[in-house]
Amino acid sequence: MNNTPVTLKFLAEKLKMSVSTVSKALNNYPTINEYTKKRVQEMARDLHFTPNKSAINLKERKSRIIGVILPNLLDHFFTRSIYGVEQFATQNGYNIIISQSHDDLQKEIQSANMLLRSRVDGLIVAISKNTQDFSHLDQFENLGIPVVYYTRNPSFNLNCHKVLGNTFQGCYQATKFLIDRGHKKIAYIGGPKMINFTHDRFNGYINALKDNGLSFDADLVAYTDFDKENTISAIKNLFANPANNPTAIVAFKEPILFDAIKYLRNIKHPNINEIECVGFGNNSFISYLDSPPVASIEENPESVGENAISLLLKLINKEIDLDNYQKIMVDCKLVVHED
């Protein structure tokens, strides 16, 4: 229970020298005598001196903290992306404070304000489902604190920095893959229409069809808002009319496929073993499923995170101007599941 905190002043008194000498010695200033440095550094080590970050932040007018706001940590996409952010941030001497909005605008505003008070040097944010107004985030840019939107972003607004998964390319590739495997009737199950990239993915699907001489059939397309009931009914519709009879499915998200597969097994669909599925996610539990998806669209969340923090750091270091808005697309990778 060492009560007196070990500060520069404390070290200075012990060593009978001034606070500035101690500070400079620890920061390896060239004007400080080598022997003095050695003495100071040894004493600092022995007494477990730990520089007070608050004091440094106050003095340097920065915090070396990056704020991250995201909907939640239960979604593997986000936790994996955090991995990339943390890795890169730590390497560059930054810490991150993660704050979950739980897809609630009020909570997101609270988080933003808290991070503003903490004087974060930059912000990485995946907005909540119902963020329409951005004033709580705009305040950062108004103060010169860079903001990078990643994944979930204000799609209509071009005047912000964005790092996104190239969801068009991912969906295109997946559809093409199924076409190459001989499928002619490929169904598409999309996500909620208000989510940014619902459209991009759909376009990837459409374009792949067109580029490969398949015609688009509206009856092969369904949407779900991820609600289980909703998903099931979308799937039912898709298979209701025997004229459709898709032999393959591309899905917005893998869990949709899991529901689809379960449904098809339940109704004992005659072609269950021929139907091939691909979805966004690459969930590690796939290998335990009985009729697993043939492939997954891996969104490389770590890479998305790393690109976001890397861009943010460039903005912080003024290597890129704040108003020189960047948009970075991170390619997806099709992972084929052998068995």
Partner DNA sequence: CAAATTATTTCAAACGTTTGAAATCTATTA
Partner DNA sequence: TAATAGATTTCAAACGTTTGAAATAATTTG
Instruction: Report the sign of the C-alpha dihedral through residues 277, 281, 282, 285, in that order.
Output: negative
Report the greatest alpha carbon distance in the chain: 91
Q: Give me the helices (H) in 102-253, please.
A: 105-117, 135-142, 167-180, 198-211, 228-240
Residue 105's binding partner among DNA, a second copy, none (Cβ under 5 to 8 angstroms by kind) is none
**Helix H or strand E encompassing 251:** strand 248-251
Of 283 and 296, which has the nearer Cβ to a second copy? 283
The DSSP output letter for 288 is G
Q: Of residues 31, 156, 218, 285, which one binds a second copy by CB under 8 A?
A: 285
Question: What tokens does 135 get?
Answer: 């004033």
Question: How many chain residues bind a second copy (CB under 8 A)?
Answer: 54
Nearest Cα residue to 272 out of 255, 290, 251: 290
Note whether 157 binds a second copy by CB under 8 A: no
C-alpha 288/C-alpha 180 separation (Å) is 26
318 binds a second copy (CB under 8 A): no
CA distances from 209 to 108, 173, 187, 288 (A): 39, 11, 11, 31
Q: Binding to a second copy by residue 144, rule CB under 8 A?
A: yes
Determine if 198 is a binding residue for DNA (CB under 7 A).
Answer: no
When asked if residue 21 is in the footprint of DNA (CB under 7 A), the reply is: yes
Helix, strand, coil share of the chain (percent; to 5): 45, 15, 40
Q: Which stretch binds a second copy (CB under 8 A): 28-36, 237-245, 259-267, 329-337?
A: 259-267
- 78 or 149: CB nearest a second copy: 78
Say which amino acid occupies 197. Answer: F
* Of the candidate residues 1, 2, 48, 60, the single one contacting DNA (CB under 7 A): 60
User: Is position 9 an interface residue for a second copy (rule: CB under 8 A)?
Assistant: no
Q: In what order do the strands lie in the sheet with 248-251?
A: 221-223, 186-190, 248-251, 276-280, 295-298, 333-336
Looking at 8-16, 36-44, 53-61, 270-278, which segment touches a second copy (CB under 8 A)? 53-61
CA distance 88 to 103: 26
d(CA 234, CA 221) in angstroms, rounded, equals 9
Question: Does 100 contact a second copy by CB under 8 A?
Answer: yes
58 belongs to the binding site for a second copy (CB under 8 A): yes
* Residue among 136, 13, 142, 117 at smallest CA distance from 57: 117
Query: Residue 101: what are its φ and ψ, rounded to 5°?
Result: -90, -10
Query: Which one-letter amino acid corresponds to residue 53?
Result: K
Of 1, 2, 3, 59, the one binding DNA (CB under 7 A) is 59
Q: Determine the interface stretch with DNA among 59-67, 92-100, 183-191, 253-261 (rule: CB under 7 A).
A: 59-67
198 binds a second copy (CB under 8 A): no
Determine if 287 is a binding residue for a second copy (CB under 8 A). yes
Residue 33 found at the interface with DNA (CB under 7 A): yes
Out of 45, 48, 61, 268, name the contact with DNA by CB under 7 A: 61
Interface pick for DNA out of 2, 3, 28, 31 (rule CB under 7 A): 31
User: Contact between 2 and DNA (CB under 7 A)?
Assistant: no
Rounded to whole angstroms, the Cα distance separating 136 from 110 reads 9
Interface with DNA (CB under 7 A) = 5, 7-9, 17-21, 23-24, 26-27, 29, 31-34, 36, 49-52, 55-56, 58-61
Interface with a second copy (CB under 8 A) = 1-3, 5, 48, 50-55, 57-58, 61, 63, 72-74, 76, 79-80, 82-83, 86, 90, 95-100, 110, 113-114, 116-119, 139, 142-144, 258-259, 261-262, 265, 283, 285, 287-290, 322
